[in-house]
Structure 1
Amino acid sequence: MLDPVDPRRTRPSAIGVEGAGSPRLVVALTLALLLALLLAVSGCGSGAGSQPANPLAGARLWVDPRSTAAQQADAWRARVGPAADAAVEAVTSQPVATWLAGQTDDPFDEAVRVTQSAEVEAALPVLVAYHRPGRDCGSYSAGGSADADAYLAWVGRLAAGIGDRPALVVLEPDAVAQALSGTCGSPADAAGVYALLGRAVDVLAERPGTRVYLDAGHAGWVGDLDALADALRASGVGRADGFSLNVANFQTTDASVAYGERLSALLDDAQFVVDVSRNGRGAPAATEGVDAWCNPPGAALGENPRTGPDRALAVALLWVKEPGASDGSCRPGEPPAGEFWPEQAQRLVDQRP
Structure 2
Amino acid sequence: MDRTDNRPSRRPRVLAGAVVLALVAGLVVVVVARSQHWGPFALDPQRDNPFLARAQFVEPGSTADQAAQQAAAEGDTASAEIFERLAEIPQGIWLTPEEFPAGQVGAHVSELVAAADEADEVPVLVVYGVPDRDCTGGFSAGGLSAEEYGPWVDEIADAAGAGDSAVVILEPDALASAIDCDSRSERVELLAAAVDSLREAGVTTYVDGGHSDWIRPEDLAPLLKDVGVASVRGFATNVSNFQPDEDEVAYAERLVELIGGDVHYVIDRGRNGNGASEEWCNPSGRAFGEKPGYVDDGTRLDAYLWVKPPGESDGECNGGPAAGDFWADRVTEIARTSGW
TM-score range, shorter chain: 0.7 to 0.9
Q: How far 1:160 sits from its partner (Å)?
A: 1.8
Specify the alignment match of 2:189 in structure 1: 195
Q: How far 1:205 sits from its partner (Å)?
A: 0.9
Q: Distance in 1 between matches of 2:57 and 2:323?
A: 24
Does 1:329 pair with 2:323?
Answer: no
Specify the alignment match of 2:101 in structure 1: 105
Q: Is the CA contact 2:237–2:267 (under 8 Å) kept in the aligned structure 1?
A: yes
Q: Distance in 2 between matches of 1:257 and 1:110?
A: 33
3-state SS, counterpart of residue 56 of structure 1: helix
3-state SS, counterpart of residue 99 of structure 1: strand
Q: Distance in 1 between matches of 2:195 and 2:134?
A: 19
Q: How far 1:71 sits from its partner (Å)?
A: 1.7
Alignment of structure 1 residues 63-82 onto 2, 5 Å: 63-79=58-74, 81-82=76-77
What per-residue deviation string (whole Å, max 9, x for no partner) do you get for residues 325-350 of structure 1?
00000134x21000111111112211
Q: Is the CA contact 1:90–1:349 (under 8 Å) kept in the aligned structure 2?
A: no
Q: Which amino acid aligns with 2:62?
A: S
Could you tell me which runs of 5 or more consecutive residues in structure 1 were left unpaired when the two chains were aligned: 1-51, 286-291
Does 1:115 pair with 2:98?
Answer: no
Q: Which amino acid aligns with 2:296?
A: P
Q: Distance in 1 between matches of 2:48 and 2:246?
A: 21
- TM score, norm. by length of structure 2: 0.81
Considering only aligned residues, what root-mean-square deviation do their CA atoms show, in Å?
1.7
Does 1:95 pair with 2:90?
Answer: yes
1:318 to 299, 305, 323: 305
Alignment of structure 1 residues 1-353 onto 2, 5 Å: 54-79=49-74, 81-102=76-97, 103-106=99-102, 107-137=105-135, 139-145=138-144, 147-165=145-163, 166-180=165-179, 182=180, 184=181, 186=182, 189-208=183-202, 210-223=203-216, 225-268=217-260, 269-285=262-278, 292-309=279-296, 311-332=298-319, 334-352=320-338
Q: Distance in 1 between matches of 2:296 and 2:335?
A: 27
Amino-acid identity (%)? 39
Q: Distance in 1 between matches of 2:188 and 2:245?
A: 27
Q: Which amino acid aligns with 2:272?
A: N
Q: Distance in 1 between matches of 2:333 and 2:113?
A: 31
Q: What is the total number of aligned residue pairs between the two structures?
A: 287
- TM score, norm. by length of structure 1: 0.78
What per-residue deviation string (whole Å, max 9, x for no partner) do you get for residues 86-121 of structure 1?
321331111111100121213112211111100000
What per-residue deviation string (whole Å, max 9, x for no partner) do you get for residues 242-284 of structure 1?
0000000000111111211111111224200011110111002
Q: How far 1:163 sits from its partner (Å)?
A: 3.1
3-state SS, counterpart of residue 338 of structure 1: coil
Q: Is the CA contact 1:176–1:216 (under 8 Å) kept in the aligned structure 2?
A: yes
Q: Which amino acid aligns with 1:173?
A: P
Q: How far 1:55 sits from its partner (Å)?
A: 4.6
3-state SS, counterpart of residue 310 of structure 2: coil
Q: Which amino acid aligns with 2:172?
A: P
Q: Is the CA contact 2:271–2:287 (under 8 Å) kept in the aligned structure 1?
A: yes
